[in-house]
Each structure stands twice: as C-alpha cells, then as structure tokens.
Amino acid sequence: MTPTPPAAVMILAAGAGTRMRSATPKVLHRIAGRSLVAHALAAAAELDPGRTVVVVRHEREAVASHIADVAPHALIADQDAVPGTGSAVRCGLSTLDATTVAAAVAAGAIGDRAVLDNQVQGSVVVTSGDVPLVDGALLGALVAAHEEQGNAVTVLTAEVPDATGYGRIVRGTDGAVLRIVEHKDAPAEVRAIREINAGIYVFDAAGLRDALAHLTTDNAQGELYLTDVLALAREAGGRVGALVAPDASAVEGVNDRVQLAAAGGALNRRIVEGWMRAGVTVVDPATTWIDADVELEADATVLPGTQLHGATYVAAGATVGPDTTLTDVEVGEGATVTRVHGSLAKIGPGATVGPFTYLRPGTVLGKKGKIGAFVETKNATIGAHSKVPHLSYVGDAIVGEHSNVGAGSIFVNYDGVTKSSSHVGDHVRIGSDNTLIAPVEIGDGAYTGAGAIIRHDVPAGALALNAVSQQVVEGWVERRRPGTPSAAAARAAQDADDSRGLSSGAQEERAAAAADHKGEA
Ligand code: UD1
Ligand code: CA
C-alpha cells in the first residue's frame, strides 16, 4: 500500500563525524555518485512529504550549500549548542513550525487563529544523513506501519549480531516497545539485547513536540536523547510501535571510511542487481560500478571493469566495456564503447568508440560514426558515418557527415594564446598525419594529401597538399654509414638483385626515378 505522504521528513546531519578523520563533513562523502545526505534526501523525496528539513551544525556552510544544490526545496535548520539527537530534532521541529506558520501567514490563512494551530501536524519522519542504504521503500514501509497501528511513535529496528554502540530496544513481556536504552547507559542484561534502534522514526508531530519539552540530559553522555521520546510518549498514553527491518545491513550507518566503502559496495550491488532485473546484461557485477543516477535501457550490455557515473545513459543494444569509465555520457542504441574514458559526451546510435579512446567534454559522435584507437576528442562534433579511426586529436572542431580523418591527424586548436575551431564538411577525406591549424574550413567533398599542414581554407572538392617531394640518394648508406648493419643489409639486397639478374630495363627505370627525385629537390 502507498502510505499517506508525511507532513515532513527531518534529516539529522549536525554531527561532527569525527571517525571519518576528514576535512570534508561526513554527510558530504560520496557513494554511488551522491553524497550521503543526498541519498537521505532522495529517499525522503520518495515519500512526497509536505516539507523536508535538514538539521545542520558541523561545517554548516559547506553542508547547507550542498543541500541547496541537490535539494533546493529543503529547509535548513541550525542546531543550537545543546548536544544530542533530541536537541537536533527540537531545532528541526521549530524550523518546520516557523515555516509552516510563515506559509500560512503568506497564504492569508492565519487571521485571528492562534499561531499554535499552524504548527506542523500529522506524521514527521526523522532519519539520519548517514544511512545511505535506507531507501524510500523502507521509509514508506515504516510510515505505513505507523498509520496502520495508529501509533504516536514508530521506530525502525534491526536484529544485529553485534549491537555494540547502538541503542537497544526494550520490549515488555507482551512484546510492546517500552523504551530505548543507549549502549553507554545500558546494564549488562540490556546490552545482551540484539534488537537495535536504527535511528529512524515516524512521530506524531503534536506528541513529539510535547515529549521534546520533557527531555533531560540526565544520562551517561549528558545529551538530549531523542530516544527518550518513546518512553515519554507511552507515559502520555500514546502507542509506540516498531518495524523490524527485513535486511539489517540496510540500516547500518556510516561512521568511518571502512563503513563508507562497505555501504558503497552494498549500494552498488543493489543498483547493479536492479538493472539486471530490468533487463540489462552485466557480465561481472563484482567489477561493475553504476551510480544511483545512471540509466540503462533493457538489452544494454555492460562488460567487466566498467564504471558508469553521474547522469550516464546507455540505450538498448549498446555494449559498454570492458574497462570503460563514463561520466555523464549518453550512449546511443546499439553503439559499442570499448575501453574508453569519457565524460560529458554523446555517442550516437550504432556508433563505435575505442579501444583506448579519451572522450572529453563536448564530444558528440553521430549515428554510425567512429572514434577509434588512441584518439582524444574535446568539444568536437563528428557527424553521422564519419570516422576518426586512429591516433588523432580532435579538439574544437565540427566534422560533417561521411567524412574520414586519416590516422595520426591533429586539430591544432591552440596557438598558445587563444583557442580556435575548425570546420570540416561532408564527404571529406583528410589524409593521414595531417595538421589542421585552426581556424580553418574544409569544404564538402575536399581531399587533403598525406602529411599535409592545413593553414588555409580548402574549397569544396579541392585537393590540398603541401608535402615536400621525396628525395632518393642511391647508395648513400653504404657510402656514409659503412660497417653498420644497415649497410650490410643494403649490400645483401643489392647482391640478391644482381644474382637474380634484375632485367636491365628495371634497373634503368630505377636509376631514372632516382635522378628525377634529385632533380626536383
Ligand atoms: C543514535 C541513537 C541510537 C541508535 C543510533 C543508530 C540517540 C540518542 N541514539 O546513536 O539509539 O542506535 O543512533 O545509528 O539518538 N546528530 C545531530 N545532532 C546531534 C547529534 C547527532 O544532528 O547533536 C545527528 C548525527 O549527525 C547523525 C544522527 O544524528 O546523523 C545520529 O547521531 P549519532 O551521534 O551517530 O548517534 P548515535 O550515538 O550513534
Ligand atoms: Ca551513529
């Protein structure tokens, strides 16, 4: 069943995260292409809450500005100097209440009525900025249980083999949840309990507000514990329920970098499995990494050692990998992308890229085009059916359709001061080892000779060449490099020619050709 959207989701992210030993706040560390807090925000968004608020304090500016980027609609609440999760939720709730009242004032809904009537009402989900495996489905199940049971508080719990450090769920003989006891406050018999508090709850807003007012710091850590709200809610006559997470590993928090990597691996397995179930062939899930925001169509194939990041999109019938890393790359239907490192590029349907190809931002390859081995491209549009097959650099260029760029050609886009672009038309044949010095334009159907240096525009249909003629100096090696292996090889070849009795005609032709070249030079 689809639960009713909660009035609000609150994400706690004020803690220092000292065990990360990092200059970066814990909730900004990333797995699967998103920060930890962005995972929490994405899960929250799936509930379609009335409001979302993130409670911050440690590295406030960095965290708040990141949240503004990834979830501009989310409210920021600043935690005051009072430590503890209870204090964090107090601050979050007062921000929610203040903005709810402000919205009501703005909408003209508050007239004579008391401000109190316009505080947040209904369900408030509280979750943590450091539990990236908790998704919208799990939060939704918790909200559904809360609604079904008519609870004042519903807590997400898990049965774990080692409960050290967690708050323990203390149940009565009838199984009802009585209270949560923090590890540091727990006597031995409570520490023996394996059911732990995952730190994720649904509260009735009014009951939460009342209970928060009664929290004390009378505990081992001298903090305001949010967990004390459960016993207070019971005392006030509310029902307290629990949902035991079906997969305990999904509620594990990230406190250090070992857990960060573990959560990253677990999330990746979940994402990769999701795509396989959706019809994507993944040959080796263990070496395939797919970010949360990547999309693939059914019948795409991902070969071993492939990492798909950011907003990468792979269409049906395309094959990506092996050993390919794509960030924000769009791969068209039926395209083949082999051993490529690419970012912010678009590969057309049926196109071929690789092996050993570097696609830099702004590369656009048309339908059935090819960017081959040891080619680097940047800000380059290469039209349908056009090919840059071998050993080239194409930067700041537009190449039309059905054109070919010969092996080893360089688009010289930088004169040391400014960058310029070049334009190659349709059905053009750029010879091998060309140097195109931008800005230069090559008209449709033009050819350029091997080794050409193109400094000026080439009109449509013309042949451009500027290669120096070849000189042949007969016998030079034997005269000028005597005693070398080359001289010996030359002598042996000459002797073989002589003993085969090369026709006098052929010998004359050869001599004439040599003389010709000397003359030209
Ligand atoms: C908390 C729970 C514990 C539970 C565990 C699950 C309390 C008292 N204890 O313990 O029962 O088993 O989570 O992981 O709630 N935070 C703030 N402001 C603060 C303190 C914490 O925003 O002043 C945030 C943290 O950034 C974090 C979350 O609250 O996102 C949990 O804080 P943490 O210090 O990890 O709580 P635990 O002691 O692990
Ligand atoms: Ca924790």
Residue of 9, 85, 184 to mutate, ligand 1, most atoms within 8 A of C-beta: 85
pLDDT the model gives residue 48: 97
Instruction: Specify whether 187 is located in the same domain as 233.
Output: yes
* Distance (Å) of CA 322 to CA 282, 316, 376, 382, 417: 11, 17, 19, 24, 39
71 appears as a binding residue in the annotation: no
Q: 269 in a domain, yes or no?
A: no
The residues annotated with a catalytic role in the active site are 390
pLDDT the model gives residue 520: 41
Domain around 492: 476-516
Instruction: Specify whether 400 is located in the same domain as 458.
Output: yes
Q: 264 in a domain, yes or no?
A: no
pLDDT the model gives residue 16: 87
| 57 beta partners | 59
383 appears as a binding residue in the annotation: no
CB 383 within 8 A of CB 399: yes
Q: 262 in a domain, yes or no?
A: no
Instruction: Specify whether 481 is located in the same domain as 457.
Output: no
Instruction: Specify whether 420 is located in the same domain as 395.
Output: yes
User: What is the domain-level CATH number for residue 400?
Assistant: 2.160.10.10
Q: 256 in a domain, yes or no?
A: no
Instruction: Specify whether 449 is located in the same domain as 323.
Output: yes
Q: 268 in a domain, yes or no?
A: no
For the chain, list residues with pLDDT below 50.
112-113, 519-521
CB 387 within 8 A of CB 404: yes
Instruction: Specify whether 411 is located in the same domain as 497.
Output: no
- Ligand closest to Cα of 169 equals 1
- What SS3 state is found at 281? strand
Q: Kindly list the protein residues whose Cβ atom lies closer than 6 A to any atom of ligand 1.
A: 12-15, 55, 79, 83-85, 87-88, 128-130, 166-167, 180, 182, 196-199, 225-227, 253
Q: Which of 251, 267, 300 marks a domain boundary? A: 251
Residue 9's nearest CA partner among 144, 128, 130 is 128
Instruction: Specify whether 435 is located in the same domain as 369.
Output: yes
Instruction: Specify whether 447 is located in the same domain as 486.
Output: no
85 appears as a binding residue in the annotation: yes
CB 191 within 8 A of CB 183: yes
Report d(CA 7, CA 119) in Å as an integer.
Answer: 11
Q: Which of 251, 286, 310 marks a domain boundary? A: 251
Instruction: Specify whether 177 is located in the same domain as 315.
Output: no
Instruction: Specify whether 136 is located in the same domain as 242.
Output: yes
Atom of ligand 1 nearest to the CA of 11: 30
pLDDT in tens, 68-124: 999 999 999 999 999 999 999 999 999 999 988 777 777 776 554 455 667 999 999
Among all chains, which residue has been given the structure tokens 């008519």? 150
pLDDT the model gives residue 309: 98
Q: Alpha helix locations (H) across 161-256?
A: 188-191, 205-213, 228-235
Greatest alpha-carbon span in the chain: 118
State how many domains the chain has: 3
Instruction: Specify whether 123 is located in the same domain as 149.
Output: yes
Atom of ligand 1 nearest to the CA of 196: 12
pLDDT the model gives residue 112: 46
pLDDT in tens, 174-212: 999 999 999 999 999 999 999 999 999 999 999 999 999
pLDDT the model gives residue 510: 62
